[in-house]
Amino acid sequence: MKKQTKQFLTDLMNSISPSGYEGPVAKVWKAEAEKFAAKVWTDTHGNSHAIINPGGSPRVMFAGHYDEIGFQISYIDDNGFLWMQALGGWDPQIAQGQRVQINTKKGIVFGVIGKVAIHMQTPEQRKKVSEVKDLWVDIGAKNKKEAEKIVEIGDPLVIAADFKEMTADIVVGRAFDDRAGAFVVLEAAKQLSKLNPSAEIHAVSTVQEEIGLRGATTAAFGIDPDIAIAVDVTFSTDHPNMGEAMKRENLIELGKGPVLTRGPNINSKLFDLLVKTAKAEKIPYQINAAPRGTGTDANALQLNRAGVTTALVSIPLRYMHSPCEMVSLSDLEMSAKLLAKTVAKITPRTNFVPF
């Protein structure tokens, strides 16, 4: 991956932007889009848009959500401890004992998520899984009055875990779900800006996916695309203790290329075009079955208005919804190339009626 491209990815990953508070990552994404897109803007919901080849046909939408899971301060007690609620789906066992970054109007405030030490727990308490409601954030404040000078009710926070390179290809970070997708859709749009496509391309980084596919729903209604491709992460199952889950999730491996979903959420002809393009371009790919709605932006895109020709391209990811989400840089690059080369083949005459 080129140095400048990797810096863009790093800046995306290090932005503090949980669901509903995506401003910092939107700033990074739009600055990169403005280098090549014909038009860049953010809508009133918070989705960021970049258009390539305005006036082209058909209208194609890429969607990758740039919100992440996090927490929101909901109460400050008399002793200055902060109590919180989850933004998105958390495993509370992961949250406890973590350092956090709180995004306040005055800047970033650091804290830690506290819990009663194991030495002071009863045998029964040790057997119980903590819930988010049992955890608090300690910012070192002496009391409520001091804490209220530093933070406010509603301030968002995330785990303090930055982007790190583990090998030349394997990287780890807090929010690859789904900054990876937001990165890929913009990189694909950048490549398409040089490929003279027939289509008008809308690359969109969507908001609030982690709390219900909300941004994709509103963005797609406004764009009214003919074709839409969502880019998200999926479970990489090439690690220990998968057991019976492997039969359900299939074998998905890091570094073996993008994952193409098959199932009711996916237009069969668009799926076939993705596979055909991958073979022609010698892009390795993996296939995963999804027998119902996928729980990604693809679900909202397919059901927009009278229905949209939809596909889902996913990036293999280990340790989802944790501070150490892991992906392969080559998977990101191959996913962007596959999107660009596929859409470059689409013309107004391309027929996607499934049967």
CATH number of 3-68+174-344: 3.40.630.10
Residue 204 in contact with residue 61, Cβ under 8 Å?
yes
The per-residue pLDDT for 92 is 87
pLDDT above 90 for 271? yes
Average pLDDT, integer, range 24-29: 98
CA distance 5 to 187: 9
Average pLDDT, integer, range 218-239: 97
Place of tokens 């875990």: 161
pLDDT above 90 for 292? yes
Decide if domain 71-159 falls under CATH 2.40.30.40: yes
Of 346, 327, 319, 159, residue with least CA distance to 231:
327
Average pLDDT, integer, range 310-319: 98
**pLDDT (tens digit per residue) in 3-21:** 999 999 999 999 999 999 9
Query: What is the model's pTM?
Result: 0.95
Of 168, 225, 196, residue with least CA distance to 49:
225
3-state secondary structure of 218: helix
Of 180, 161, 159, residue with least CA distance to 29:
180
The H or E element spanning position 118 is none
Helical H runs in the chain?
Answer: 3-13, 23-33, 92-95, 123-127, 144-148, 176-192, 214-223, 245-249, 268-280, 297-302, 329-344
**Main-chain phi, psi angles of 107, to 5 degrees:** 130, -170
CA distance 151 to 193: 43
3-state secondary structure of 203: strand
Place of tokens 């499934």: 354
The per-residue pLDDT for 247 is 73
For the chain, the domains span 3-68+174-344, 71-159
**pLDDT (tens digit per residue) in 108-144:** 999 999 988 888 888 888 888 888 998 999 999 999 9
Can you spell out the DSSP letters for 238-285? -STT-TTHHHHH----TTS-PEEEESTTS-HHHHHHHHHHHHHTT---
The per-residue pLDDT for 120 is 86
Residue 18 in contact with residue 70, Cβ under 8 Å?
yes
CA 162 to chain centroid, in Å, comes to 15
Residue 99 or residue 247, greater confidence: 99
Catalytic-role residue among 22, 187, 200, 209: 209
CA 244 to chain centroid, in Å, comes to 27
| Annotation says 209 is catalytic | yes
Average pLDDT, integer, range 153-178: 97
